[in-house]
A and B are shown apart, each in its own frame.
Chain A
Protein backbone atom coordinates (compact mmCIF):
# COMPACT_ATOMS: atom_id res chain seq x y z
CA UNK A 1 0.00 0.00 0.00
CA UNK A 2 1.13 3.55 -0.52
CA UNK A 3 1.25 5.53 2.73
CA UNK A 4 0.87 8.86 0.89
CA UNK A 5 -2.40 7.70 -0.66
CA UNK A 6 -3.64 6.62 2.77
CA UNK A 7 -2.91 10.12 4.06
CA UNK A 8 -4.81 11.72 1.20
CA UNK A 9 -7.84 9.53 1.84
CA UNK A 10 -7.43 9.86 5.61
CA UNK A 11 -7.54 6.13 6.30
CA UNK A 12 -5.14 3.64 7.82
CA UNK A 13 -4.96 -0.17 7.98
CA UNK A 14 -5.57 0.01 11.72
CA UNK A 15 -8.90 1.81 11.26
CA UNK A 16 -10.34 1.06 7.82
CA UNK A 17 -13.87 2.10 6.91
CA UNK A 18 -16.54 -0.57 6.56
CA UNK A 19 -19.60 -1.08 4.42
CA UNK A 20 -18.37 1.01 1.49
CA UNK A 21 -18.18 0.56 -2.26
CA UNK A 22 -15.11 2.16 -3.82
CA UNK A 23 -14.93 2.68 -7.57
CA UNK A 24 -11.55 2.91 -9.32
CA UNK A 25 -11.43 4.33 -12.86
CA UNK A 26 -8.64 5.05 -15.24
CA UNK A 27 -8.67 7.08 -18.43
CA UNK A 28 -5.76 7.29 -20.87
CA UNK A 29 -3.46 5.69 -18.33
CA UNK A 30 -3.01 2.50 -16.32
CA UNK A 31 -4.78 2.62 -13.00
CA UNK A 32 -3.73 -0.84 -11.84
CA UNK A 33 -1.46 0.71 -9.16
CA UNK A 34 -4.69 1.50 -7.30
CA UNK A 35 -5.68 -2.17 -7.37
CA UNK A 36 -2.28 -3.18 -5.95
CA UNK A 37 -2.65 -0.49 -3.28
CA UNK A 38 -6.04 -1.74 -2.09
CA UNK A 39 -4.99 -5.39 -2.23
CA UNK A 40 -1.99 -4.81 0.02
CA UNK A 41 -3.96 -2.35 2.20
CA UNK A 42 -6.70 -4.81 3.07
CA UNK A 43 -4.29 -7.72 3.52
CA UNK A 44 -2.27 -5.60 5.96
CA UNK A 45 -5.51 -4.57 7.69
CA UNK A 46 -6.12 -8.27 8.41
CA UNK A 47 -9.26 -8.52 6.30
CA UNK A 48 -10.44 -11.56 4.39
CA UNK A 49 -10.03 -10.70 0.71
CA UNK A 50 -11.74 -12.32 -2.26
CA UNK A 51 -9.86 -11.16 -5.35
CA UNK A 52 -11.55 -11.72 -8.72
CA UNK A 53 -8.51 -11.19 -10.95
CA UNK A 54 -9.53 -11.25 -14.61
CA UNK A 55 -6.70 -9.24 -16.08
CA UNK A 56 -3.36 -10.62 -14.86
CA UNK A 57 -1.94 -13.83 -13.50
CA UNK A 58 -1.42 -14.67 -9.85
CA UNK A 59 2.36 -14.36 -10.09
CA UNK A 60 2.07 -10.82 -11.46
CA UNK A 61 0.07 -9.64 -8.45
CA UNK A 62 2.40 -11.57 -6.15
CA UNK A 63 5.54 -9.93 -7.53
CA UNK A 64 4.06 -6.45 -7.16
CA UNK A 65 2.63 -7.38 -3.76
CA UNK A 66 6.06 -8.36 -2.49
CA UNK A 67 7.37 -4.91 -3.40
CA UNK A 68 4.57 -3.45 -1.30
CA UNK A 69 5.26 -5.75 1.62
CA UNK A 70 2.63 -8.51 1.32
CA UNK A 71 3.07 -12.16 0.34
CA UNK A 72 0.07 -13.42 -1.60
CA UNK A 73 1.16 -17.05 -1.43
CA UNK A 74 1.25 -16.97 2.38
CA UNK A 75 -2.06 -15.12 2.50
CA UNK A 76 -3.66 -17.69 0.20
CA UNK A 77 -2.27 -20.65 2.13
CA UNK A 78 -3.58 -19.45 5.48
CA UNK A 79 -7.01 -18.69 4.05
CA UNK A 80 -6.90 -14.91 4.15
CA UNK A 81 -6.92 -14.53 0.37
CA UNK A 82 -9.31 -16.30 -2.01
CA UNK A 83 -7.95 -15.77 -5.51
CA UNK A 84 -9.93 -16.42 -8.69
CA UNK A 85 -7.40 -16.45 -11.50
CA UNK A 86 -9.54 -15.49 -14.48
CA UNK A 87 -6.91 -16.21 -17.12
CA UNK A 88 -6.39 -19.81 -15.99
CA UNK A 89 -10.09 -20.47 -15.44
CA UNK A 90 -10.95 -19.17 -18.91
CA UNK A 91 -8.72 -21.77 -20.51
CA UNK A 92 -10.42 -24.48 -18.45
CA UNK A 93 -13.86 -23.23 -19.41
CA UNK A 94 -13.10 -23.16 -23.11
CA UNK A 95 -10.90 -26.24 -23.46
CA UNK A 96 -11.51 -28.22 -20.28
CA UNK A 97 -13.88 -31.05 -19.63
CA UNK A 98 -17.52 -30.62 -18.64
CA UNK A 99 -16.88 -31.57 -15.01
CA UNK A 100 -14.83 -28.44 -14.36
CA UNK A 101 -16.45 -25.85 -12.03
CA UNK A 102 -18.30 -23.38 -14.23
CA UNK A 103 -17.71 -20.10 -12.42
CA UNK A 104 -16.91 -18.41 -15.71
CA UNK A 105 -19.47 -20.24 -17.82
CA UNK A 106 -20.89 -16.88 -18.95
CA UNK A 107 -17.96 -16.66 -21.35
CA UNK A 108 -19.36 -19.55 -23.33
CA UNK A 109 -23.02 -18.72 -23.05
CA UNK A 110 -24.27 -15.44 -24.42
CA UNK A 111 -26.99 -13.63 -22.54
CA UNK A 112 -26.25 -15.31 -19.23
CA UNK A 113 -25.90 -13.54 -15.93
CA UNK A 114 -23.05 -13.60 -13.44
CA UNK A 115 -24.90 -15.70 -10.87
CA UNK A 116 -22.16 -18.34 -10.75
CA UNK A 117 -19.51 -15.68 -10.11
CA UNK A 118 -21.66 -14.18 -7.36
CA UNK A 119 -22.05 -17.59 -5.75
CA UNK A 120 -18.27 -17.99 -5.69
CA UNK A 121 -17.88 -14.62 -3.96
CA UNK A 122 -20.64 -15.43 -1.50
CA UNK A 123 -19.10 -18.79 -0.63
CA UNK A 124 -15.63 -17.28 -0.28
CA UNK A 125 -16.56 -14.42 2.02
CA UNK A 126 -19.43 -15.75 4.12
CA UNK A 127 -17.97 -17.08 7.36
CA UNK A 128 -18.07 -20.86 7.28
CA UNK A 129 -18.61 -21.17 11.01
CA UNK A 130 -15.52 -23.22 11.77
CA UNK A 131 -13.88 -20.47 13.74
CA UNK A 132 -12.07 -18.62 10.97
CA UNK A 133 -14.61 -15.77 11.04
CA UNK A 134 -13.17 -14.49 14.28
CA UNK A 135 -9.66 -14.21 12.90
CA UNK A 136 -10.32 -11.69 10.13
CA UNK A 137 -11.59 -8.16 10.58
CA UNK A 138 -14.21 -7.99 7.80
CA UNK A 139 -14.53 -9.34 4.23
CA UNK A 140 -13.45 -7.41 1.14
CA UNK A 141 -14.24 -8.09 -2.52
CA UNK A 142 -11.76 -6.76 -5.06
CA UNK A 143 -12.40 -6.99 -8.81
CA UNK A 144 -9.80 -6.32 -11.53
CA UNK A 145 -11.46 -5.38 -13.72
CA UNK A 146 -15.10 -5.08 -14.79
CA UNK A 147 -14.41 -3.80 -18.31
CA UNK A 148 -13.04 -7.24 -19.18
CA UNK A 149 -16.50 -8.68 -18.54
CA UNK A 150 -17.95 -6.20 -21.02
CA UNK A 151 -15.34 -7.25 -23.56
CA UNK A 152 -16.29 -10.93 -23.33
CA UNK A 153 -19.92 -10.11 -24.03
CA UNK A 154 -21.61 -9.70 -20.66
CA UNK A 155 -24.28 -6.99 -20.66
CA UNK A 156 -23.73 -3.88 -18.55
CA UNK A 157 -27.01 -4.49 -16.68
CA UNK A 158 -25.84 -8.01 -15.73
CA UNK A 159 -22.60 -6.56 -14.32
CA UNK A 160 -24.58 -3.93 -12.40
CA UNK A 161 -26.85 -6.64 -10.96
CA UNK A 162 -23.76 -8.67 -9.98
CA UNK A 163 -22.21 -5.70 -8.17
CA UNK A 164 -25.55 -4.94 -6.49
CA UNK A 165 -25.85 -8.52 -5.24
CA UNK A 166 -22.26 -8.36 -3.97
CA UNK A 167 -23.02 -5.07 -2.20
CA UNK A 168 -26.05 -6.60 -0.52
CA UNK A 169 -24.03 -9.55 0.74
CA UNK A 170 -20.63 -8.00 1.40
CA UNK A 171 -21.46 -4.39 2.39
CA UNK A 172 -24.88 -4.68 4.03
CA UNK A 173 -24.93 -8.17 5.54
CA UNK A 174 -21.26 -8.80 6.28
CA UNK A 175 -20.28 -5.10 6.81
CA UNK A 176 -17.39 -5.45 4.42
CA UNK A 177 -16.14 -3.45 1.44
CA UNK A 178 -16.25 -3.82 -2.32
CA UNK A 179 -13.60 -2.29 -4.60
CA UNK A 180 -13.83 -2.54 -8.39
CA UNK A 181 -11.85 -1.12 -11.31
CA UNK A 182 -13.47 0.06 -14.54
CA UNK A 183 -11.63 1.47 -17.55
CA UNK A 184 -12.99 4.65 -19.03
CA UNK A 185 -12.54 4.44 -22.73
CA UNK A 186 -12.15 7.75 -24.50
CA UNK A 187 -14.17 6.38 -27.39
CA UNK A 188 -17.60 7.73 -26.79
CA UNK A 189 -19.20 5.09 -29.05
CA UNK A 190 -18.84 2.54 -26.24
CA UNK A 191 -22.22 3.30 -24.64
CA UNK A 192 -22.24 0.16 -22.50
CA UNK A 193 -18.99 1.21 -20.81
CA UNK A 194 -20.30 4.72 -20.14
CA UNK A 195 -23.52 3.33 -18.64
CA UNK A 196 -21.54 0.89 -16.50
CA UNK A 197 -19.13 3.52 -15.23
CA UNK A 198 -21.75 6.18 -14.47
CA UNK A 199 -24.15 3.73 -12.82
CA UNK A 200 -21.35 2.33 -10.63
CA UNK A 201 -20.35 5.90 -9.82
CA UNK A 202 -23.83 6.53 -8.45
CA UNK A 203 -23.59 3.43 -6.25
CA UNK A 204 -20.18 4.27 -4.81
CA UNK A 205 -19.25 6.29 -1.76
CA UNK A 206 -15.68 6.96 -2.97
CA UNK A 207 -14.39 7.35 -6.53
CA UNK A 208 -10.67 7.35 -7.39
CA UNK A 209 -10.00 8.36 -10.96
CA UNK A 210 -6.51 8.14 -12.47
CA UNK A 211 -6.12 10.15 -15.66
CA UNK A 212 -3.27 10.68 -18.03
CA UNK A 213 -2.08 14.25 -18.44
CA UNK A 214 -3.94 16.28 -21.03
CA UNK A 215 -0.63 17.44 -22.47
CA UNK A 216 0.62 13.91 -23.09
CA UNK A 217 3.33 11.66 -21.71
CA UNK A 218 5.76 13.05 -19.16
CA UNK A 219 8.71 11.25 -17.59
CA UNK A 220 8.32 12.83 -14.17
CA UNK A 221 4.55 13.14 -13.85
CA UNK A 222 2.71 9.99 -14.79
CA UNK A 223 -0.81 11.27 -14.36
CA UNK A 224 -3.29 12.91 -12.05
CA UNK A 225 -5.59 11.39 -9.46
CA UNK A 226 -9.05 12.73 -8.66
CA UNK A 227 -10.57 11.63 -5.37
CA UNK A 228 -14.32 12.23 -5.01
CA UNK A 229 -16.31 11.50 -1.85
CA UNK A 230 -20.00 11.00 -2.58
CA UNK A 231 -23.07 11.08 -0.43
CA UNK A 232 -23.36 12.83 2.85
CA UNK A 233 -21.68 10.61 5.39
CA UNK A 234 -23.09 11.63 8.73
CA UNK A 235 -21.58 13.34 10.66
CA UNK A 236 -18.59 14.01 8.38
CA UNK A 237 -20.38 16.77 6.46
CA UNK A 238 -17.37 19.06 6.67
CA UNK A 239 -15.14 16.71 4.73
CA UNK A 240 -13.73 18.06 1.49
CA UNK A 241 -15.74 16.74 -1.41
CA UNK A 242 -12.97 16.26 -3.93
CA UNK A 243 -9.20 16.45 -4.26
CA UNK A 244 -6.89 16.54 -7.26
CA UNK A 245 -3.25 15.48 -7.15
CA UNK A 246 -0.60 14.52 -9.67
CA UNK A 247 1.54 11.45 -9.13
CA UNK A 248 4.67 9.61 -10.17
CA UNK A 249 4.94 5.85 -9.93
CA UNK A 250 8.28 4.57 -8.68
CA UNK A 251 9.57 1.09 -8.12
CA UNK A 252 8.07 0.52 -4.68
CA UNK A 253 5.96 3.58 -4.04
CA UNK A 254 3.91 6.33 -5.61
CA UNK A 255 4.57 9.95 -4.74
CA UNK A 256 1.76 12.49 -4.82
CA UNK A 257 2.12 16.23 -5.16
CA UNK A 258 -0.07 19.22 -5.81
CA UNK A 259 -0.72 20.10 -9.42
CA UNK A 260 2.30 21.68 -11.04
CA UNK A 261 4.56 21.15 -8.05
CA UNK A 262 6.45 18.06 -9.12
CA UNK A 263 9.95 18.11 -7.60
CA UNK A 264 11.40 17.69 -11.06
CA UNK A 265 10.05 20.97 -12.34
CA UNK A 266 10.64 23.13 -9.27
Chain B
Protein backbone atom coordinates (compact mmCIF):
# COMPACT_ATOMS: atom_id res chain seq x y z
CA UNK B 1 0.00 0.00 0.00
CA UNK B 2 2.72 2.46 0.95
CA UNK B 3 4.43 1.70 -2.32
CA UNK B 4 1.30 2.67 -4.23
CA UNK B 5 0.92 5.90 -2.29
CA UNK B 6 4.45 7.01 -2.81
CA UNK B 7 6.12 9.40 -0.39
CA UNK B 8 5.62 13.11 0.24
CA UNK B 9 6.29 15.34 -2.71
CA UNK B 10 5.70 12.54 -5.20
CA UNK B 11 3.56 12.57 -8.31
CA UNK B 12 1.77 9.22 -8.56
CA UNK B 13 0.15 8.45 -11.93
CA UNK B 14 -2.79 6.04 -11.90
CA UNK B 15 -3.16 4.90 -15.51
CA UNK B 16 -6.39 3.16 -16.45
CA UNK B 17 -8.36 2.24 -19.56
CA UNK B 18 -12.01 1.83 -20.56
CA UNK B 19 -11.85 -1.91 -19.81
CA UNK B 20 -10.18 -1.48 -16.39
CA UNK B 21 -11.23 1.68 -14.64
CA UNK B 22 -8.98 3.26 -12.04
CA UNK B 23 -11.31 5.61 -10.18
CA UNK B 24 -12.13 3.04 -7.52
CA UNK B 25 -8.40 2.49 -6.89
CA UNK B 26 -7.99 6.27 -6.57
CA UNK B 27 -10.82 6.38 -4.03
CA UNK B 28 -9.29 3.44 -2.14
CA UNK B 29 -5.93 5.29 -1.93
CA UNK B 30 -7.70 8.47 -0.79
CA UNK B 31 -9.37 6.45 1.95
CA UNK B 32 -5.98 5.13 3.09
CA UNK B 33 -4.59 8.67 3.31
CA UNK B 34 -7.67 9.97 5.13
CA UNK B 35 -7.53 7.10 7.66
CA UNK B 36 -4.13 8.46 8.73
CA UNK B 37 -5.86 11.70 9.64
CA UNK B 38 -4.69 13.73 6.65
CA UNK B 39 -6.89 16.05 4.68
CA UNK B 40 -7.27 15.26 0.96
CA UNK B 41 -8.01 17.91 -1.67
CA UNK B 42 -9.78 16.51 -4.74
CA UNK B 43 -10.03 18.30 -8.08
CA UNK B 44 -13.14 16.71 -9.62
CA UNK B 45 -13.54 17.25 -13.36
CA UNK B 46 -15.27 14.12 -14.56
CA UNK B 47 -17.84 13.03 -12.00
CA UNK B 48 -20.17 14.85 -9.67
CA UNK B 49 -19.28 15.31 -6.01
CA UNK B 50 -22.12 12.98 -5.04
CA UNK B 51 -20.85 10.18 -7.28
CA UNK B 52 -17.27 10.62 -6.05
CA UNK B 53 -18.19 10.53 -2.35
CA UNK B 54 -20.37 7.44 -2.85
CA UNK B 55 -18.93 4.40 -1.12
CA UNK B 56 -16.56 6.37 1.14
CA UNK B 57 -17.20 6.25 4.87
CA UNK B 58 -18.15 9.36 6.84
CA UNK B 59 -14.66 9.87 8.33
CA UNK B 60 -13.09 9.91 4.90
CA UNK B 61 -15.80 12.17 3.52
CA UNK B 62 -15.21 14.65 6.33
CA UNK B 63 -11.51 14.91 5.46
CA UNK B 64 -12.19 15.16 1.74
CA UNK B 65 -12.47 18.62 0.20
CA UNK B 66 -14.02 18.41 -3.28
CA UNK B 67 -13.29 21.21 -5.76
CA UNK B 68 -16.08 20.81 -8.31
CA UNK B 69 -15.03 21.66 -11.87
CA UNK B 70 -17.40 19.03 -13.31
CA UNK B 71 -20.53 21.03 -12.69
CA UNK B 72 -19.31 24.24 -14.27
CA UNK B 73 -16.24 23.74 -16.45
CA UNK B 74 -16.65 27.14 -18.09
CA UNK B 75 -16.90 28.83 -14.69
CA UNK B 76 -13.14 28.83 -14.31
CA UNK B 77 -12.58 30.67 -17.58
CA UNK B 78 -11.97 33.98 -15.84
CA UNK B 79 -9.89 32.57 -13.00
CA UNK B 80 -6.97 31.14 -14.90
CA UNK B 81 -8.79 28.28 -16.57
CA UNK B 82 -8.53 24.67 -15.45
CA UNK B 83 -4.94 25.18 -14.21
CA UNK B 84 -6.18 28.00 -12.03
CA UNK B 85 -8.62 25.51 -10.53
CA UNK B 86 -5.72 23.12 -9.92
CA UNK B 87 -3.69 25.77 -8.08
CA UNK B 88 -6.75 26.95 -6.15
CA UNK B 89 -7.15 23.48 -4.61
CA UNK B 90 -4.18 24.12 -2.33
CA UNK B 91 -5.13 27.65 -1.30
CA UNK B 92 -7.50 26.65 1.45
CA UNK B 93 -5.58 23.55 2.47
CA UNK B 94 -4.22 22.93 5.98
CA UNK B 95 -0.57 23.91 6.28
CA UNK B 96 1.87 21.05 6.35
CA UNK B 97 1.80 17.87 4.32
CA UNK B 98 -1.04 17.66 1.88
CA UNK B 99 -2.41 15.19 -0.64
CA UNK B 100 -4.05 16.36 -3.85
CA UNK B 101 -6.05 13.91 -5.98
CA UNK B 102 -6.74 14.94 -9.58
CA UNK B 103 -9.72 13.31 -11.33
CA UNK B 104 -8.59 13.44 -13.95
CA UNK B 105 -5.34 14.53 -15.56
CA UNK B 106 -6.83 13.43 -18.89
CA UNK B 107 -9.55 16.06 -18.61
CA UNK B 108 -6.89 18.71 -17.96
CA UNK B 109 -4.77 17.44 -20.86
CA UNK B 110 -7.72 17.79 -23.24
CA UNK B 111 -8.31 21.40 -22.19
CA UNK B 112 -4.81 22.81 -21.68
CA UNK B 113 -1.54 22.23 -23.53
CA UNK B 114 0.57 19.36 -22.20
CA UNK B 115 3.56 21.61 -21.47
CA UNK B 116 1.47 23.99 -19.35
CA UNK B 117 0.07 21.08 -17.33
CA UNK B 118 3.53 19.61 -16.78
CA UNK B 119 4.83 22.98 -15.58
CA UNK B 120 1.88 23.38 -13.21
CA UNK B 121 2.38 19.90 -11.75
CA UNK B 122 6.10 20.51 -11.30
CA UNK B 123 5.40 23.80 -9.55
CA UNK B 124 2.98 22.02 -7.18
CA UNK B 125 5.63 19.48 -6.26
CA UNK B 126 8.21 22.16 -5.58
CA UNK B 127 5.99 23.64 -2.89
CA UNK B 128 5.68 27.09 -4.43
CA UNK B 129 1.87 26.97 -4.20
CA UNK B 130 1.78 25.57 -0.69
CA UNK B 131 4.19 25.51 2.23
CA UNK B 132 5.10 21.92 2.87
CA UNK B 133 5.23 19.00 0.49
CA UNK B 134 2.36 18.04 -1.74
CA UNK B 135 1.70 14.48 -2.79
CA UNK B 136 -0.28 14.37 -6.06
CA UNK B 137 -2.37 11.33 -7.06
CA UNK B 138 -3.34 11.82 -10.69
CA UNK B 139 -5.82 9.65 -12.59
CA UNK B 140 -4.84 9.35 -16.26
CA UNK B 141 -6.81 7.55 -18.99
CA UNK B 142 -3.93 6.18 -21.01
CA UNK B 143 -6.03 5.07 -24.00
CA UNK B 144 -7.10 8.63 -24.83
CA UNK B 145 -3.69 10.19 -25.30
CA UNK B 146 -0.83 9.61 -27.65
CA UNK B 147 2.66 8.56 -26.62
CA UNK B 148 3.84 12.21 -26.37
CA UNK B 149 1.71 13.42 -23.44
CA UNK B 150 1.92 10.01 -21.74
CA UNK B 151 5.69 10.06 -21.94
CA UNK B 152 5.89 13.66 -20.70
CA UNK B 153 3.73 12.95 -17.65
CA UNK B 154 5.50 9.65 -17.11
CA UNK B 155 8.85 11.36 -16.90
CA UNK B 156 7.51 13.76 -14.26
CA UNK B 157 6.04 11.01 -12.12
CA UNK B 158 7.90 9.30 -9.32
CA UNK B 159 5.55 6.33 -9.46
CA UNK B 160 3.31 4.93 -12.20
CA UNK B 161 0.55 2.45 -11.42
CA UNK B 162 -1.19 0.86 -14.40
CA UNK B 163 -4.52 -0.82 -13.69
CA UNK B 164 -5.18 -3.88 -15.77
CA UNK B 165 -6.51 -7.36 -15.51
CA UNK B 166 -5.50 -10.91 -16.20
CA UNK B 167 -6.92 -14.30 -15.32
CA UNK B 168 -10.10 -12.66 -14.08
CA UNK B 169 -8.36 -10.52 -11.43
CA UNK B 170 -7.40 -6.87 -11.30
CA UNK B 171 -3.72 -6.05 -11.33
CA UNK B 172 -1.71 -2.97 -10.58
CA UNK B 173 1.60 -2.78 -12.39
CA UNK B 174 3.83 -0.44 -10.42
CA UNK B 175 6.82 1.16 -12.08
CA UNK B 176 9.22 3.01 -9.82
CA UNK B 177 11.85 4.76 -11.94
CA UNK B 178 15.16 5.18 -10.18
CA UNK B 179 17.67 7.81 -11.29
CA UNK B 180 20.64 6.18 -13.07
CA UNK B 181 19.17 2.73 -12.49
CA UNK B 182 16.70 0.49 -14.23
CA UNK B 183 13.14 1.20 -13.10
CA UNK B 184 11.76 -1.28 -10.59
CA UNK B 185 8.60 -2.99 -11.84
CA UNK B 186 6.21 -4.99 -9.70
CA UNK B 187 2.77 -6.45 -10.29
CA UNK B 188 0.27 -6.59 -7.45
CA UNK B 189 -2.95 -8.60 -7.61
CA UNK B 190 -5.74 -6.92 -5.72
CA UNK B 191 -9.44 -6.46 -5.32
CA UNK B 192 -11.42 -3.56 -3.94
CA UNK B 193 -13.95 -4.44 -1.26
CA UNK B 194 -17.33 -2.71 -1.02
CA UNK B 195 -16.03 -0.37 1.68
CA UNK B 196 -13.23 0.72 -0.70
CA UNK B 197 -10.47 -1.00 1.22
CA UNK B 198 -7.74 -2.71 -0.78
CA UNK B 199 -7.10 -6.40 -0.47
CA UNK B 200 -3.95 -7.81 -2.00
CA UNK B 201 -3.72 -11.41 -3.23
CA UNK B 202 -1.00 -13.72 -4.38
CA UNK B 203 -0.87 -14.44 -8.09
CA UNK B 204 -3.75 -16.83 -8.82
CA UNK B 205 -2.83 -20.11 -10.57
CA UNK B 206 -4.31 -20.77 -13.98
CA UNK B 207 -6.83 -23.36 -12.74
CA UNK B 208 -8.34 -20.87 -10.32
CA UNK B 209 -9.46 -18.73 -13.19
CA UNK B 210 -11.40 -21.58 -14.76
CA UNK B 211 -13.21 -22.26 -11.50
CA UNK B 212 -13.75 -18.66 -10.50
CA UNK B 213 -15.54 -17.56 -13.62
CA UNK B 214 -19.27 -17.75 -12.87
CA UNK B 215 -21.37 -19.60 -15.43
CA UNK B 216 -22.23 -16.97 -18.00
CA UNK B 217 -25.90 -16.92 -18.87
CA UNK B 218 -26.19 -18.51 -22.28
CA UNK B 219 -29.10 -18.99 -24.56
CA UNK B 220 -30.70 -22.42 -24.55
CA UNK B 221 -28.86 -24.19 -27.35
CA UNK B 222 -31.48 -26.97 -27.39
CA UNK B 223 -34.29 -24.66 -28.45
CA UNK B 224 -35.40 -24.41 -32.07
CA UNK B 225 -33.49 -27.43 -33.32
CA UNK B 226 -34.64 -29.22 -36.48
CA UNK B 227 -33.69 -32.66 -35.12
CA UNK B 228 -34.42 -34.54 -31.92
CA UNK B 229 -31.67 -34.78 -29.30
CA UNK B 230 -33.79 -36.15 -26.48
CA UNK B 231 -34.54 -39.83 -25.69
CA UNK B 232 -37.88 -41.27 -24.68
CA UNK B 233 -38.11 -43.56 -21.64
CA UNK B 234 -38.26 -46.74 -23.71
CA UNK B 235 -35.30 -45.65 -25.80
CA UNK B 236 -33.32 -44.84 -22.68
CA UNK B 237 -34.02 -48.29 -21.18
CA UNK B 238 -33.07 -50.04 -24.41
CA UNK B 239 -29.83 -48.06 -24.54
CA UNK B 240 -28.95 -48.96 -20.96
CA UNK B 241 -29.44 -52.71 -21.50
CA UNK B 242 -27.40 -52.82 -24.67
CA UNK B 243 -24.14 -54.77 -24.39
CA UNK B 244 -21.19 -53.12 -26.02
CA UNK B 245 -19.70 -55.18 -28.87
CA UNK B 246 -16.11 -55.26 -27.60
CA UNK B 247 -16.86 -55.41 -23.92
CA UNK B 248 -15.47 -58.71 -22.53
CA UNK B 249 -18.37 -59.66 -20.27
CA UNK B 250 -18.70 -62.96 -18.39
CA UNK B 251 -21.22 -64.34 -20.90
CA UNK B 252 -18.78 -63.91 -23.70
CA UNK B 253 -16.06 -65.55 -21.65
CA UNK B 254 -18.26 -68.61 -21.01
CA UNK B 255 -19.20 -68.99 -24.66
CA UNK B 256 -15.54 -69.06 -25.66
CA UNK B 257 -14.47 -71.51 -22.97
CA UNK B 258 -17.31 -73.92 -23.55
CA UNK B 259 -18.16 -73.89 -27.21
CA UNK B 260 -20.23 -77.07 -26.94
CA UNK B 261 -22.66 -75.37 -24.65
CA UNK B 262 -23.36 -72.83 -27.29
CA UNK B 263 -25.71 -75.07 -29.16
CA UNK B 264 -27.38 -72.19 -30.79
CA UNK B 265 -24.23 -71.24 -32.55
CA UNK B 266 -24.29 -71.82 -36.23
CA UNK B 267 -22.63 -74.78 -37.84
CA UNK B 268 -21.10 -75.05 -41.21
CA UNK B 269 -22.06 -77.91 -43.47
CA UNK B 270 -19.62 -78.53 -46.29
CA UNK B 271 -20.36 -80.77 -49.22
CA UNK B 272 -17.36 -81.11 -51.51
CA UNK B 273 -18.02 -80.82 -55.21
CA UNK B 274 -16.91 -83.36 -57.77
CA UNK B 275 -14.18 -80.98 -58.92
CA UNK B 276 -12.76 -80.52 -55.45
CA UNK B 277 -9.40 -82.04 -54.90
CA UNK B 278 -9.04 -83.21 -51.36
CA UNK B 279 -5.44 -83.96 -50.83
CA UNK B 280 -5.06 -86.51 -48.07
CA UNK B 281 -1.33 -86.15 -48.11
CA UNK B 282 0.55 -83.70 -46.07
CA UNK B 283 3.46 -82.28 -48.08
CA UNK B 284 4.68 -80.03 -45.29
CA UNK B 285 4.25 -82.62 -42.64
CA UNK B 286 3.08 -80.12 -40.16
CA UNK B 287 -0.48 -81.13 -39.71
CA UNK B 288 -0.98 -82.78 -36.41
CA UNK B 289 -4.33 -84.43 -36.73
Chain A residues at the B interface, C-beta cutoff of 8 Å: 157, 160-161, 164-165, 168, 172, 191, 195, 198-199, 201-203, 207, 228, 230-232, 234-235, 237, 240, 243, 245, 256-258, 261, 263, 266
In the complex, A235→B194 CA distance in Å? 8
Closest CB in chain B relative to A260 CB, distance in Å: 9
The majority secondary structure among interface residues of chain A is mixed
Residue interface bits B104-143, CB-to-A below 8 A is 1, else 0? 0010001100000000000000000000000000000101
Q: Are B71 and A199 in contact, with the CB atoms below 8 A? A: no
Task: Name the residue on B nearest A261 (C-beta).
Answer: B221
A195 to B216, CA, bound (A): 32
Q: Are A231 and B23 in contact (CB under 8 A)?
A: yes
Size of the chain B interface, CB-CB below 8 angstroms: 32
Q: Would B221 and A202 count as touching, CB distance under 8 A?
A: no
Identify the interface centre among B18, B72, B146: most chain A CB within 10 Å of its CB: B18
* A230 B144 Cβ-Cβ under 8 A: no
Q: Is the CB of A198 within 8 A of B143?
A: yes
In the complex, the answer to whether B19 meets A198 with C-beta atoms within 8 Å is no
Given contacts A198-B144, A199-B110, contact A266 B225 (CB under 8 A): yes
- A263 CB contacts on chain B under 8 angstroms: 224-225
Of the 9-residue stretches B7-15, B46-54, B200-208, B253-261, which lies at the interface with chain A? Answer: B46-54
Whether A199 lies near B141 (C-beta < 8 A) is: yes
Give the nearest-CB partner of A196 in chain B. Answer: B144
Chain B residues near A160: list those with CB within 8 A. 110
**Minimal Cβ-Cβ distance residue in A for B55:** A234
Interface check B285, CB cutoff 8 A: no
Q: Give which listed residue, B48, B72, B110, contacts A157 with CB less than 8 A.
A: B110
Residue B21 CB within 8 A of the other chain:
yes
Structural contact, B46 and A240, CB atoms closer than 8 A: no
- The answer for the CA separation of A256 and B218 in the assembled complex, in Å, is 10
Q: Is the CB of A240 within 8 A of B106?
A: no
Choose among B21, B111, B225 the residue that contacts A231 (Cβ–Cβ < 8 A).
B21
User: Given the complex of chains A and B, what is the CA–CA distance between A191 and B55 in angstroms?
Assistant: 35
Knowing A172-B50, A232-B24, A256-B219, the reply to whether A195 touches B18 (Cβ < 8 A) is no
Q: Judge whether B179 is part of the interface by a CB distance below 8 angstroms.
A: no
A266-B71 in contact given A168-B48, A202-B18, A243-B216 (Cβ < 8 Å) = no
Interface residues of B: mostly helix, strand, loop or mixed?
Answer: loop
Could you pull out 24 A-B pairs where Cβ atoms are within 8 angstroms?
A: A164-B46, A168-B70, A168-B71, A168-B72, A172-B50, A195-B110, A198-B141, A198-B143, A199-B106, A199-B110, A202-B21, A202-B141, A202-B144, A228-B18, A228-B19, A230-B18, A235-B194, A243-B216, A243-B217, A256-B219, A258-B221, A261-B218, A261-B219, A263-B224
The smallest C-beta distance from A23 to any residue of chain B, in angstroms, reads: 9
B73 touches A (CB below 8 Å): yes
B192 at the interface (CB under 8 A from A): yes
Complex Cα–Cα for A34 and B218 (A): 21
Instruction: With both chains docked as a complex, state the minimum distance between the C-beta of B102 and any C-beta of chain A, in angstroms.
Output: 14
Decide if B214 is an interface residue (CB 8 Å cutoff). yes
Bound form: Cα–Cα A206–B202 in Å: 30
For residue A115, which residue of chain B has the nearest CB? B74
Using CB atoms, name the residue of chain A closest to B227.
A266
Question: Which of B70, B71, B194, B219 lies at the interface centre, i.e. has the most chain A CB atoms within 10 A of its CB?
Answer: B219
Give the docked Cα–Cα distance between A237 and B73 (Å).
31
Residues 52-85 of B contacting A (Cβ, < 8 Å):
54-55, 70-73
A157 to B21, CA, bound (A): 21
Taking A157-B110, A195-B144, A245-B219 as given, write out 14 further A-B residue pairs in contact, using a Cβ cutoff of 8 Å, ordered by the A residue number: A164-B46, A195-B110, A198-B141, A199-B110, A199-B144, A202-B18, A202-B144, A203-B46, A230-B18, A240-B216, A258-B219, A258-B221, A261-B219, A266-B224
Q: Which of A203, A232, A235, A245 is the most central at the interface, judged by chain B CB atoms within 10 Å of its CB?
A: A232
Nearest 6 Cβ contacts at the A-B interface = A201-B18, A258-B218, A198-B144, A263-B224, A172-B48, A257-B219
Contact B141 A232 (CB under 8 A): no
Closest to A161 in B: B73
- Known A-B contacts A199-B141, A258-B219; the reply to A157 vs B111 at CB < 8 A is yes
Report A80 CB to chain B, min CB distance, Å: 27
Inter-chain contact A164/B70, CB cutoff 8 Å? yes
Given A198-B18, A202-B46, A258-B219 in contact, is the A232-B55 Cβ separation under 8 Å? yes
